[in-house]
Amino acid sequence: MTQEIDVSVVNLTKRWGNLTAVNNVSFDVPKGSFFSVLGPSASGKTTVLRMIAGFETPTAGDMFIGGQRINDVPANKRPCNLVFQRLALFPMMNVLDNVTFGLRRRGGISKAEMERMANDVLARVDLKGLNKRKISQLSGGQQQRVALARSLVLDPTVLLLDEPLSALDLKLRQDMKLELKRLQARMGTTFMYITHDQTIALAMSDTVAVINFGKLEQVASPDILYREPATHFVASFVGENNRLNHGRVVKLIDDQTCQVEIGGLLSVARIGEELAPGDDIDLFIRPEMIHLQLGKQASGIVGQIKEINFDGAHSLVVVQLTESAIPLSINVKFQHTEQAPAIAVNDTVTLSWGRAAANAFRHIEPPTEGKE
Ligand SMILES: Nc1ncnc2c1ncn2[C@@H]1O[C@H](COP(=O)(O)OP(=O)(O)O)[C@@H](O)[C@H]1O
Ligand SMILES: [Mg+2]
């Protein structure tokens, strides 16, 4: 089955002097999907979006919306609409006038028709009856929805969203996150969502493109991104992980699995990228995929509990490995089920995990502390 593509960028590059903000990026956004671009601050996310929206000219590369090359199409003629990080609403205008703003600029639509269209969209974003309210009289979440309505009323092929939730407090952000996802599913409009917040990207998206220093690292579903990171960066950026530096590949077991040694301890690992025996690797182990047993068991890695940080359904348990040649400690997300043993600080425990929990990538020097 071939999937219809709404937005496509091919070898997209943006340079300012010596700085390459976007470096040869290519991806396809399937029609009707929720597509996120995830990356740390200054990785080039906004620049990608601004090029698609037509506010920035690419140094190289092509952009397509609905199969049409848009490089030379003026911003206001592109079938997309940008929701800004700062919502850029008119605070003294009422909701209705904010929502019909784009329609009035477009022209050729009667006042009654504009109002009907606005009311229709306002109902979809749960703002029915607030037409006459001024923006300054709305809550943060309501303002968010007005900004969405103002874009959606223009019926864009794709809605471009640049971290629109980042100004909200945590609780509201959690609520809006789910709301936005439901809204997207209901409307069926293609959403292209930019964020540095992986919890948002993982929770909302059908597909996530991870970008770092302007380069595309991986494009995949949240599930694949989490379980099968394609690069060292994705493994360290997406989800929580234990990072053990400077291990060594002992042998390849099959085309996806290897055995690694770190501080004299052996572990099975998923091969994250092409590796050969002897390679210097970093090992990433998911805290929630580690099995913890009390006492010294016949197989597994022995350690001692140093800390237990209780967090309701589970605890984050810090285990110092006692048989490694170098000081190593591992965080374990310990689930408090009825079968789970009682644990205490200083207990001797045995940790074990399977291939799925551990990803091996060629070693990269960790960033120095304090630097961004
Ligand atoms: N107009 C500009 N002129 C020069 N450099 C810019 C300009 N806009 C952005 N940059 C630089 O490009 C890089 C990527 O910026 P941006 O796309 O805003 O990142 P993000 O949205 O991921 O935080 C940053 O280093 C930023 O300083
Ligand atoms: Mg940005």
More confident residue, 341 or 316: 316
Position 370 pLDDT exceeds 60:
no
> With a 6 A CB cut-off, is 19 part of the ligand 1 pocket?
yes
Is 165 domain-assigned? Answer: yes
**211, 296: one domain:** no
> With a 6 A CB cut-off, is 44 part of the ligand 1 pocket?
yes
Question: What HEC string does the chain produce?
Answer: CCCCEEEEEEEEEEEECCEEEEEEEEEEEECCCEEEEECCCCCCHHHHHHHHHCCCCCCEEEEEECCEECCCCCHHHCCEEEECCCCCCCCCCEHHHHHCHHHHHHCCCCHHHHHHHHHHHHHHCCCCCCCCCEHHHCCHHHHHHHHHHHHHCCCCCEEEEECCCCCCCHHHHHHHHHHHHHHHHHHCCEEEEEECCHHHHHHHCCEEEEEECCEEEEEECHHHHHHCCCCHHHHHHCCCCEEEEEEEEEEECCCCEEEEEECCEEEEEEECCCCCCCCEEEEEECHHHCEEEECCCCCCEEEEEEEEEEECCEEEEEEEECCCCCCCEEEEEEECCCCCCCCCCCCEEEEECCHHHEEEEECCCCCCCCCC
More confident residue, 83 or 28: 28
**205, 101: one domain:** yes
Domain boundary residue, one of 232, 255, 290: 232
Domain CATH for 75: 3.40.50.300
**174, 154: one domain:** yes
Position 308 pLDDT exceeds 80:
yes
Q: Which of 8-17, 36-45, 158-167, 269-278 has the lowest mean pLDDT?
A: 158-167
Task: State what percent of residues in the chain have pLDDT above 70.
Answer: 98
For ligand 1, the distance from its centroid to the CA atom of residue 310, given in whole angstroms, is 40
Instruction: Calculate mean pLDDT across residues 346-357.
Output: 96
Position 371 pLDDT exceeds 50:
no
In angstroms, the CA 242 to CA 15 distance is 35
Which of 19, 56, 237 is the best mutation target for the ligand 1 pocket, counting ligand atoms within 8 Å of the beta carbon and taking the most? 19
| Tokens 């269209």, located at residue | 117
* Structural domains counted in the chain: 2
> With a 6 A CB cut-off, is 178 part of the ligand 1 pocket?
no
In angstroms, the CA 177 to CA 185 distance is 13
Position 106 pLDDT exceeds 90:
no
**212, 89: one domain:** yes
For ligand 1, the distance from its centroid to the CA atom of residue 21, given in whole angstroms, is 6
**In 3D, which of 243, 249, 236 has the Cα closest to residue 275?**
249
Domain boundary residue, one of 232, 263, 281: 232
Instruction: Calculate mean pLDDT across residues 129-138.
Output: 90
> With a 6 A CB cut-off, is 16 part of the ligand 1 pocket?
yes
pLDDT, tens only, 3-26: 799 999 999 999 999 999 999 999
Position 85 pLDDT exceeds 70:
no
> With a 6 A CB cut-off, is 39 part of the ligand 1 pocket?
yes
Is 247 domain-assigned? Answer: yes
Question: Across-strand partners of 219?
Answer: 209
Task: State what percent of residues in the chain have pLDDT above 90.
Answer: 73
More confident residue, 315 or 369: 315
> With a 6 A CB cut-off, is 212 part of the ligand 1 pocket?
no
pLDDT of residue 112: 94
**214, 262: one domain:** no
Position 275 pLDDT exceeds 60:
yes
The gap from C-alpha 18 to its chain's centroid, in whole angstroms, comes to: 28
For ligand 1, the distance from its centroid to the CA atom of residue 232, given in whole angstroms, is 23
Range of the domain at 155: 5-232
**219, 305: one domain:** no
Instruction: Calculate mean pLDDT across residues 24-47.
Output: 97
Is 372 domain-assigned? Answer: no
**210, 286: one domain:** no
Supply the residue whose CA is at minimum distance from atom 14 of ligand 1. Answer: 44
In angstroms, the CA 188 to CA 169 distance is 27
**312, 186: one domain:** no
> With a 6 A CB cut-off, is 47 part of the ligand 1 pocket?
yes
Supply the residue whose CA is at minimum distance from atom 8 of ligand 1. Answer: 47
Is 289 domain-assigned? Answer: yes
Domain boundary residue, one of 188, 211, 232: 232
**221, 335: one domain:** no
Which pLDDT band holds residue 369 (cuts at 50, 70, 90)? low
Nearest atom in ligand 1 to the alpha carbon of residue 41 is 23
Is 371 domain-assigned? Answer: no
Is 368 domain-assigned? Answer: no
Ligand sitting nearest the alpha carbon of 42:
1
**218, 251: one domain:** no
The gap from C-alpha 144 to its chain's centroid, in whole angstroms, comes to: 20
Instruction: Calculate mean pLDDT across residues 84-104.
Output: 86
For ligand 1, the distance from its centroid to the CA atom of residue 162, given in whole angstroms, is 13
Which pLDDT band holds residue 340 (cuts at 50, 70, 90)? confident
**16, 147: one domain:** yes
**73, 220: one domain:** yes
Position 372 pLDDT exceeds 70:
no
